Amino acid sequence: MQPNTLLDAILDEAGISHAGLAAHVNRAGRARGLTLRYEHTAVGRWLKGQRPRGQVPDLICEVLAARLRRTVTLDDIGLGVPGGPAAPHATSLSGFVDRATALWRSDERQRPHVLDAPAVTGTPAVMPVWEWENPPEDVDVSRGGRHRVTPADIETLRAARTHYEQMYRKAGGVATRGRVVGFLNTETAPLLRGGYPDAVGRKLHRATGALVAVAGICAYDSDAHGLAQRYFHQALRLAKAGGDRGLGAYVIALLVNQSLFLREHRQAVAFAEAALRAAGRDITPALASDLYAMQAKAYAHLGDGTSALSRIRRAERAAERIRPCQEPDETGYVQPGLVNVQVAEALLSLGDLAAAEEHATAAVDTPAHDRGRVHRLAMLSTIELRRGDADKAVATAVLMAEQARGMESQRLRDRLRAVREHLVRSGCAGTAQVAALIDGALRVPL
């Protein structure tokens, strides 16, 4: 069940509260001879994705049409008949833009039914990837709006993506998410609804997709997994409209990473395979190395050592071909040492501790941005402790805690707590000191 952000947005536009809509629907029902006793709690359930019964969806349209003085359809309020024929607008790129911007609006307004929605699984999780990989393609993405989109507008979106990505790396997703979502609402949404020919529209949708992906990363880092998944699905659709297979493969890499965190290991393998297959020559060495490394982690968790080692070799070969100057901005996260730490995690799962420590040490010895360095130190400390070298594990954990101070990131908090738990459980010397340092880093409010 997915949150109904279209209904949320149109209620905002109409200026009707949840209790007000319930009262209006009850009144409209009486005019049709129906006895309805809805309250604001029922509207809350509809916003969470529950479909009202009987004639109620039509009554909602009637109430909102009278308020807004225009026709309002079931598709406009997110209640088109499931499995039935949708209005052309509902399945068009323009309809997608309306649904996407409605989500941004609900996120910025901190709607609980959006923030707390769980990630979908099964067919709803797979379909956006399948639709990205398969026809039909967007033949023409031009749009006739009042505001003419210019190359300068697109450069602004690209600069914003870089800015918010750097902010995320330094401060974490919790601190960054509100800012990037605010930018999507105030600056990006009007551009998507503007006027542009096909060539400009391709660049606009591509730039928007890259920015939406950062919003998804920040939501993932804030533990809002359903919201993150919806942003990633949006970014995938925008990448398709932009005609950029490489960007689409990058977005799928984000979905693979989320699948690994959610322990959907078979899904992670399948998604990575889809990206590698569909992007073909458009996939860069950096992205290929990351996808293969994440596949190795998934196979290792599944207990398939042969496949894991095969993907490790592919990841390492791809990493050797990386030329930063030839990579797009989005793959800048694949910094030197990233593949090492991914491989170290896979080898740790396979029980090859010596090789895992070798890779983790190489990762730590390679310069990285602040966030990446915390993850690398956490991995190395875990491996050192598993190998019985408690003194080294404690020293590494101290560096990790000092590096993490001030970052607002749920994922980093998870890593810090895991390291703390392992150290405390080991009972090794120096645990009290490092536990206090980690507790200090964890006191940053989220």
What is the reported pLDDT for 444? 59
What is the reported pLDDT for 196? 97
Q: In sequence order, what are the beta bridge partners of 143?
A: 196
CA–CA distances in Å: residue 31 to residues 37, 63, 101, 439? 14, 12, 34, 61
What is the reported pLDDT for 89? 56
What is the reported pLDDT for 357? 96
265 phi-psi bin (left φ>0, alpha ψ -120 to 50, beta other): alpha
Burial grade of 73 (CB within 10 A; 0-12, 13-18, 19 or more):
middle
The rounded distance, in Å, linking the Cα atoms of 25 and 114 is: 23
pTM of the model: 0.87
Residues of the chain with pLDDT under 70: 81-91, 444-446
What is the reported pLDDT for 297? 98
Q: Is 365 helix (H, G, I), strand (E, B) or coil?
A: coil
The rounded distance, in Å, linking the Cα atoms of 381 and 426 is: 12
CA–CA distances in Å: residue 39 to residues 19, 161, 352? 6, 42, 59
What is the reported pLDDT for 10? 87
Domain boundaries, the chain: 5-89
Q: Of the candidates 50, 76, 41, which has an alpha carbon nearest to the alpha carbon of residue 62?
A: 76
CA–CA distances in Å: residue 320 to residues 285, 369, 373? 8, 20, 21
Q: Which amino acid is at 375?
A: H
Contact 87, 80 (CB under 8 A): yes
CA–CA distances in Å: residue 119 to residues 114, 122, 131, 249, 302? 11, 10, 18, 20, 21
